[in-house]
Amino acid sequence: MNRKLLRTTSLVALVAVAALIGAACSNKKTPTTATSGATTGAATTPAEPFKVAIVAPSAPNDLAFTQSMVDAVNRLKDQYNLDIAVSDSLFVVEDAAAAIRDYASKGYDLVIAHGSQFGGSVQEIAADFPDVSFAWGTAGDTFRLPNVFAYQAASDQGGYVMGQMAAALSQSGVIGMVGPIEVGDAKLYVDGFKNGAVAEKSTVDVRVNYTGSFSDVALASEAAKSFVDAGADVMTGSAQMVVGAVGVAKENNVAWFGTQSNQTSLAPEVVVASQVYHWEVVLSQIIDAIKAGTLGGQTYNIDLANGGEVIEFNADYALSDEVKAIGDAAVQGIKDGTIDTGASA
């Protein structure tokens, strides 16, 4: 073998190794460790573990969408003796599809494709694995497949509650909302928040900016700055890129309302409250259905009434009793059906 050929071969190997290291680091499959089981129940612990895989677009601790699902599955771990695997950071749909297929081929009992962008992949792969159950969301379509569950969040409900509080809090009368793409629970949340704010104070100026990305932190940050320039003194946002916007809120002492996970730790000085998803409410129903022999075909929702959505207040934020009472009344009104958020997917 001449030197040139040897060198070329070595280079190809070097590049391949670097690429593989990068790809391996980026697309992690992480068997999670147990966390304290917060859910109590009468379910018995079977001898064989129930194998659940989560395929998600962002980090498992993003304080947003992915974390809400990872936390929920871990809360059910002890109750259902779950064997959990997580493939996170799969923002490329094709990579996620490969992970979904991989878990299905390994005989997982339930494969959760956590992202509305994964619908096409689930529809294609589920048909190839009729004995494996799939769940995906946020969405309401099971594709008429007997082994696909769908789940969605009535995020407009918490949005409406916090929108009312935001309007009551705002002195300037300008509220800014940073969204990713006008779809799914992000759209519901934004619409619900806006309707709640207007219901509380009809003169409030609610501005919405969909950046076009679920993950572009810089764009979210600049969108938030444009709201501050416009005089906003209360802001909110949905999806994992809002960490950039929360930073702007903190820098400018603008009140912030979070959603999906509790975002207080990002800016304890300005976060008023967060709508927190508790997917375990629907996951427990899905697992029970699978154990009873139903592998799919149903859609589940989390909302304020079933406890799948909870408004968690930041204890360190000096929220007046009057504003908190407005929020509590809105929660009650939505639960008992006297308040309609006016939002639709």
Binding site residues, other proteins, CB under 8 A: 7, 10-12, 14-16, 18-19, 21-28, 58-59, 61-63, 67, 89, 91, 176, 181-182, 207-213, 215-219, 221-223, 225-227, 229-230, 240-241, 243-244, 246-247, 250-251, 265-267
| Nearest distance from C-beta of residue 88 to other proteins, angstroms | 9
Sheet holding 174-179, edge to edge: 205-210, 174-179, 234-237, 255-260, 271-277, 309-313
Residue 19 vs 127, nearer CB to other proteins: 19
Residue 148 vs 243, nearer CB to other proteins: 243
CA 336 distance to own-chain centroid? 26
| Nearest distance from C-beta of residue 256 to other proteins, angstroms | 12
Residue 21 vs 325, nearer CB to other proteins: 21
Residue 118 vs 214, nearer CB to other proteins: 214
| Nearest distance from C-beta of residue 145 to other proteins, angstroms | 28
The Cα–Cα gap between 159 and 115 comes to 20
Query: Does residue 60 contact residue 35 with C-beta atoms inside 8 Å?
Result: no
| Nearest distance from C-beta of residue 205 to other proteins, angstroms | 10
The Cα–Cα gap between 239 and 331 comes to 22
Residue 14 vs 325, nearer CB to other proteins: 14
| Nearest distance from C-beta of residue 301 to other proteins, angstroms | 24
What tokens appear for 10 in the block? Answer: 């070595």
Instruction: Give the count of beta carbons closer than 10 Å to the beta carbon of residue 305.
Output: 15
DSSP class of residue 136 equals E
Residue 23 vs 127, nearer CB to other proteins: 23
| Nearest distance from C-beta of residue 215 to other proteins, angstroms | 6
How many C-alpha atoms does 344 have within 13 Å on its Cβ side? 1
Query: Does residue 101 contact residue 126 with C-beta atoms inside 8 Å?
Result: no
